Every structure is written in C-alpha cells, then in structure tokens.
C-alpha cells in the first residue's frame, strides 16, 4: 500500500519582504504640451553637462498642463530624458487621458502630494534645487550636503568637483585651476582661479575666500569674470560671493 508523505509542519520562510520606501527623485514640471519645445530646451540646457544627472529617477509633473487638450508625446519625451542619463519612472497631476497615455508609455502614476517644508529638527534635512528651462521646471531634492576637503595647492588645469557637497580648500587655488561644488565653496587661501558654487542650481550656495583674486566666480549659473574688476574693498581681501535674485553680490566677509 502506498502512503502519501504528509506536508511539512514547518512553513518555509518567505524569501522576500515588501516595505514602503522613499527615494530622492527629480521632478520635471512641464509648462506646455509642446514636446518639441520641451525636448529642445532640455537638450540645449543639459546635453553639454553629461554629469548633471546620474541616472536620477524622474517624476514628470503634469499639473500645469492638465487642462491642455493637446496630446503629449511621452515616447519622444522619455527618449530625450534617457539620453540625458535620467530614468523616467512616473507621472503625477495629469488628467485621465494624459495619465492613460503615460501608462501606455510604461510609466507608473504617482499620487499627488502637497508641498512641504522640512522641519528644522528633521534628522535628514534636504536642499531644494530649482532650475527653470523655458517651458520646463526641474526640481531636485537631495540630502543635506557633505563636505570635501582639499589640502594641496591646485595648479593651472586642475579641477575639483564636490558632487552633492560643500568644498573646503585649505591652500591656494592658482590661476587656471577650478573648484566646483553643488554646495558652498570655502577657500582659506588666495583664490586666483575659478570658483563655482551651487553647480546644480542651488541659489543659496555661497563662495568664501580668504584672499579674493578670482578669475571667475559663479553661483547657480550666474557668473562674473575678472574682466570686471573687483571692488577695492574685496580685491585681495577676505570676501564672500552670494546671489541676490539674478545678481552676484561680492562683499567683504561678514556682510550680508
């Protein structure tokens, strides 16, 4: 007589676990349904900066065009975004037709959320970086900046980029050298080369130099070169550079 083997009394452990997760992403807010204009604006702005994105997930925000009856060319938009080293994953804020076209293009649909301001007591504060490209608005939320420290002189032709971080340079930045940071740039020595703060659009970033002789200073894409002489009260002195609207302010350290 054959007997069936009784099932095991001990259940096998489940080989996976599902948890809710929050990931940093770039929100691309469309200001028009004219995809040609948007694709052209994106390409003109970012094609020459291959390191601006690093396969960042992209959330396409349709809230500003949800009343537009024109069809959105999602395949064309996704092609452009992927060529710029981004990963489009979802849409939000669109009407029913736009949402269905987005689903057909392989995008998921994210819930609409109201904007929130991070609490000062938050353990993981974030910096919001906003860049307006004609009909396109790119918003990035990234973790609070870390710090990169350089303690060797920088010669002409050398470049240091503190990605997602502040940059502190303890020695001279010679003419022809370049220091770049997504956050602040601090140079505790003569700054004779180029200094770029807020490289990814952070308008709140600043440049601090113990001895300001910069060949070029730039914050969030707004720049000033040595062709415009520095004011006498900052040339060769401790100074800071900050952005006020669309204007760079260069002033003695401690002002502003």
CATH of domain 148-252: 2.160.20.70
Q: Give per-residue pLDDT as tens, 214-225.
A: 999 999 888 888
Q: Give per-residue pLDDT as tens, 53-88.
A: 778 888 899 988 989 888 889 999 999 999 988 899
Number of H helices, E strands in the chain: 3, 17
Lateral strand order in the sheet of 26-30 = 108-109, 86-92, 56-61, 26-30, 136-143, 126-133
| Same fold yes or no, 26-109 and 148-252 | no
From the list 171, 173, 30, 7, the residue with the least C-alpha distance to 92 is 30
Is residue 119 a contact partner of residue 156, using CB atoms and an 8 Å limit? Answer: no
Give the Cα separation of 170 and 93 in Å (integer). Answer: 47
User: Angle 74-83/35-46 helices, nearest 10 degrees?
Assistant: 0
Give the Cα separation of 25 and 23 in Å (integer). Answer: 6
Is residue 161 a contact partner of residue 183, using CB atoms and an 8 Å limit? Answer: no
Domain coordinates of the chain in residue numbers?
26-109, 148-252
Q: What is the pTM of this model?
A: 0.47
Q: Give per-residue pLDDT as tens, 114-144.
A: 433 333 333 333 333 344 444 455 544 444 4
CATH topology for the 26-109 domain:
Alpha-Beta Plaits (3.30.70)
pLDDT of residue 226: 82
Show the DSSP H helices in 157-209 as ranges: none
Give me the count of residues in the chain. 256
Phi, psi angles (nearest 5°) of residue 98: -60, -40
Is residue 26 a contact partner of residue 57, using CB atoms and an 8 Å limit? Answer: yes
């Amino acid at each position: 007589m054959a007997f069936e083997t009784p099932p095991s009394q001990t259940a096998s452990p489940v080989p996976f676990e599902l948890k809710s997760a929050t990931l940093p992403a770039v929100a691309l807010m469309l200001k028009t349904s004219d995809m040609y204009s948007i694709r052209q604006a994106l390409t003109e702005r970012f094609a020459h900066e291959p390191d601006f994105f690093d396969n960042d997930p992209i959330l396409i925000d349709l809230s500003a065009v949800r009343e537009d009856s024109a069809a959105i060319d999602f395949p064309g938009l996704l092609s452009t975004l992927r060529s710029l080293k981004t990963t489009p994953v979802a849409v939000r804020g669109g009407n029913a037709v736009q949402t269905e076209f987005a689903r057909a293009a392989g995008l998921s649909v994210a819930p609409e959320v109201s904007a929130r301001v991070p609490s000062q007591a938050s353990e993981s504060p974030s910096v919001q970086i906003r860049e307006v490209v004609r009909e396109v608005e790119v918003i990035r939320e990234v973790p609070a900046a870390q710090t990169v420290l350089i303690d060797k002189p920088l010669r002409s032709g050398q470049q240091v980029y503190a990605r997602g971080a502040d940059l502190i340079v303890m020695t001279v930045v010679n003419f022809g050298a370049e220091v770049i940071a997504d956050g602040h740039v601090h140079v505790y020595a003569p700054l004779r080369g180029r200094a770029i703060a807020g490289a990814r659009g952070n308008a709140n970033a600043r440049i601090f130099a113990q001895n300001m002789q910069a060949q070029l200073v730039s914050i969030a894409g707004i720049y000033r070169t040595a062709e415009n002489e520095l004011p006498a009260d900052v040339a060769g002195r401790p100074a800071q550079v900050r952005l006020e609207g669309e204007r760079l302010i260069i002033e003695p350290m401690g002002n502003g």
